[in-house]
Amino acid sequence: MDEEQLDLSGEEEEITADVVLKTIQTSWQNERLSPEILPHRNDMVECMLGQIQHMERNINKLPKTDLRTSIHKMELSRIKYIICNYLKTRLEKIEQNCIIIINDEKQRIESGTNYLTPLEYRYAQEHLLNIEHHLKQTILNQVPGNMQVFEINKMSTVPNLQSHVFLKANETVHGIVLEDHFGDQDEEIDLEEGSQHILQYKFIADLVKNGKVQLI
């Protein structure tokens, strides 16, 4: 059970299980609090799932009355909760905004910076097909011919990137421009390490993605 060092396939550096766990927890928190879908951390999730399996095999070898069994089980349930909730939150966002997510994702795949895992992408596409199919079956096919077109763009909902979020700066970032919508009163602020703010998500979206700030 002293498997501490994990090997991340495809990466040179070794990374300890608790770092993986912390990364997943941060991603979970950010995903829960950001209006838009964030780049996936499937590498970390896969890695942790492997670790959980390994741990579960070892637990089965322990006698049932062993105190360690219940401690390990408790920890695994906690981690599973985070992972499930993380993946579920992403799926909810995908369902909510699937049209815009698929469109954006198409461009991101071309540039190799995809946010969704291949499975999530497939889920999004299937979800959209199901909606289309459902609407055609229940309504569109029953209405006059000139109204039967499935107007995908009119169906599209977008996340509100202007919504206000709370954040904490993990490191000092200078010169965040708080744009005024009409360009006359732009304000510039610095985020000092450890400071906390509330502001519009779109100003700091990139900083969330590169880990310089953490949503709270």
Interface with other proteins in residues 174-213 (CB under 8 A)? 178, 181-182, 187, 189, 194-200
| Apex 50 CA angle, 48 and 56, nearest 5 | 100
For position 134 contacting other proteins by CB under 8 A, the verdict is: no
Nearest residue (CB) to other proteins, 126 versus 193: 193
Q: Among 1, 49, 147, 152, which residue sits at the site for other proteins (rule: CB under 8 A)?
A: 1
For tokens 């509330």, name the residue: 198
DSSP letter string, 13-29: S-EEHHHHHHHHHHHHH
For position 214 contacting other proteins by CB under 8 A, the verdict is: no
Count of other CB atoms within 10 angstroms of residue 186: 10
Contact call for residues 56 and 69 (beta carbons, < 8 A) = no
For position 4 contacting other proteins by CB under 8 A, the verdict is: yes
Q: Which region among 44-52, 117-125, 131-139, 151-159 touches other proteins (by CB under 8 A)?
A: 44-52
**Rounded Cα distance, 210 and 216, in Å:** 16
- What is the distance of C-alpha 171 from the center of its chain? 21
What does the CA dihedral 164, 168, 170, 171 come to, rounded to 10 degrees?
80
For tokens 């954040």, name the residue: 167
Q: Per-residue x/- mask for other proteins, residues 61 to 90, rule CB under 8 A?
A: ------xx-xxx-xxx-xx-x---------
Q: Retrieve residue 2's tokens.
A: 């002293």
For position 161 contacting other proteins by CB under 8 A, the verdict is: no
Q: Per-residue x/- mask for other proteins, residues 23 to 42, rule CB under 8 A?
A: --x---x--xx---------
Positions that interact with other proteins (CB under 8 A) = 1-4, 17-18, 21, 25, 29, 32-33, 48, 51-52, 55, 67-68, 70-72, 74-76, 78-79, 81, 160, 162-166, 178, 181-182, 187, 189, 194-200, 216
